[in-house]
Amino acid sequence: MNPSQNTTAMNDRDLTVRVHDRSFRPYIGTDEIDVMVSDIAEKINKDFLGQELTVLIILKGGFVFAADLIRRLRIPVKIETLRASSYGVAMTSNGLIDVEDDFPDLRERNVLIVEDIIDTGTTIVELIKRIGGLQPASVTVAALLSKPEMHRENLVIDYVGREIAPDFVVGYGMDYAGYGRELDAIWVVDTATEEFPES
């Protein structure tokens, strides 16, 4: 783990990082992330052997995971991006998602949607619906993390790095209030030091 400047610790157990107005504890280290990404890449290489893939990176959260993932792919790959957001400053989904209108041309392509994390599933369900309407050859989903206890409906995610408890995490592309995406490991909100900022 490579703590950034605003990390404080008396010892390892007390290690926290400050992101915006909250403290976060170490959760998934860089070595484990590495293994998760490599495992997903290996499966994709096998499943799409002899085919071409269009990796559709969901911005902003998916860009770090996607950057590591695509460099482990050994098949011909094209990259597209799409902006989607469902979170404001809060740590819970507001159920509304905002997807950019400017969809890439995905006709006849094997589309792999790359998401950072699946929480309620609202975002991915909406994306699959919209992308499915663009006559792609196939649509699959890779998510680094998933919170199955939060899913609002039965979801089948093709490639998941790890299922986690319904806790709020930051780092490796994922943000809290726009901050923390640059952290190389994944950190979980520290409920022990929970503060209740004025809403």
Which member of 17, 64, 174, 186 binds ligand IMP (CB under 6 A)? 174
Q: Where do we find the tokens 């992308």?
A: 131
Tell me how far, at minimum, the Cβ of 157 lies from ligand IMP, in Å: 11
The catalytic residues are: 119
Q: Which one of Mg ion, ligand IMP, none is in contact with 87 (Cβ closer than 5 to 8 A by kind)?
A: ligand IMP
Can you state the percent helix, strand and coil of the chain, rounding each to 5?
A: 25, 30, 45
Amino acid occupying residue 119: D
Q: Which helix or strand (DSSP H or E) is residue 109 part of?
A: none
Whole-angstrom distance, CA of residue 50 vs CA of residue 180: 38
Least distance (Å) from Mg ion to the CB of residue 150? 14
Q: Residues binding ligand IMP: what is the number (CB under 6 A)?
A: 18
Asked if 148 contacts 138 with a C-beta cutoff of 8 angstroms, the reply is no
Among 120, 139, 144, 157, binds ligand IMP (CB under 6 A): 120
Stretch that binds ligand IMP, among 10-18, 22-30, 74-82, 162-170 (CB under 6 A): 162-170
The single-letter code of the amino acid at 188 is: V
- Find which of ligand IMP, Mg ion, none residue 45 binds, CB within 5 to 8 Å per kind: none
Measured from the CB atom, the residue of 48 and 142 that comes closer to ligand IMP is: 142
54 binds ligand IMP (CB under 6 A): no
The least CB distance from residue 171 to ligand IMP, in Å, is: 9
By CB under 6 A, tell whether 87 contacts ligand IMP: yes
d(CA 109, CA 78): 10
61 binds ligand IMP (CB under 6 A): yes
Rounded distance between C-alpha atoms, residue 44 and residue 63, angstroms: 18
Q: Which stretch binds ligand IMP (CB under 6 A): 20-28, 45-53, 134-142, 165-173?
A: 165-173
- Collect all residues with Cβ–Cβ distance below 8 Å to 43 and sequence separation of at least 6: 159
- Least spacing, CB of residue 93 vs Mg ion, in Å: 10
Among 104, 115, 53, residue whose Cα is nearest residue 80: 104
Among 26, 121, 136, 161, binds ligand IMP (CB under 6 A): 121
Closest by CA position to 56, among listed 106, 121, 122, 126: 106
Binding site for Mg ion (CB under 5 A): 61
